[in-house]
Amino acid sequence: MRIQVFHSVNSALYFWTGTTGLLVDGIHGGPNGFSPIPEAMTAQLKTCGGIFAHLDGVLFTHTHSDHFCRKAFNAVLRWKNPPGVYGPGVPESNIPVHPLRPGMVQLEFPGLRVIARDTAHDGKDKEHPHQSYLLETEEETVFIAGDALLSPEDADAFLSCGTRGIDAAFFNPYQLNPRFGAAHIRRLRPRRVFVIHLPLPQDDIYYHHLLAAQLLKRYPTDLPSPEILPHMAWLDGNAPQW
């Protein structure tokens, strides 16, 4: 991929386009079997180093604690030049939005177009504000599911607003379940499928890694093979030379 992607832990993803840096669900807590921000990332956040020195925008799919941490987020807002912010249920959202259709908006960054769509959170918390995202540069398109309960209709809505096919899609393990998630993935037709939303092994008290392994065994073989992203690493080892 031309977009360079760093995955820390849980659902945290950082996208570097060569000119624009965007962090999604990367300022998070970690109770209930997930991980807090790794110490290395916390140090970067405090000093505005590493990826935080190249950060133009911060997005959240929703404000559950494994995706969002108020204390750490407040520290970012106190920076001399804080990044743009957007997320459902985040009152500090300040990125201009352009309505596309009910429940769907477009966000603008330099060299990067973001489509945000209201999607239902999976499980028992379906009423919690949640959005999934489509990120587009001039050359590539990326889909970020968050914790959504996704349908083929959701895939159609994103594809209708995009300008090309999906180069990469990021899902949590539950969205690989062949009983429902596979229908969305089949309609979305991403070239590569990545699995995130996994804690560090020492924090995995509810066996999320075991669940992911079981779901991968049942995943339809006619779909792109899912790749579990390693923690604290750049996708395909493709790190920017800052």
pLDDT, tens digit, for every residue of 2-19? 999 999 999 999 999 999
Chain centroid to CA 76: how far? Answer: 19
Amino acid at 205: I
Distance CA 177, CA 149 (A): 11
Contact 13, 144 (CB under 8 A): yes
Nearest CA to 130 among 45, 11, 34, 35?
11
> Which domains are present in the chain?
4-229 (3.60.15.10)
Distance CA 85, CA 91 (A): 9
Provide the percentage of residues in the chain whose pLDDT is more than 90: 92
Percent helix, strand, coil in the chain, to 5, is 25, 25, 50
Task: Please tell me the predicted confidence (pLDDT) of residue 106.
Answer: 97
**DSSP annotation of 116:** E
Using one digit for the tens of pLDDT, what is the confidence trace for 35-67? 999 999 999 999 999 999 999 999 999 999 999
Contact 5, 136 (CB under 8 A): no
Task: Please tell me the predicted confidence (pLDDT) of residue 215.
Answer: 93
What is the pLDDT confidence band of residue 31, given thresholds at 50, 70 and 90?
Answer: confident
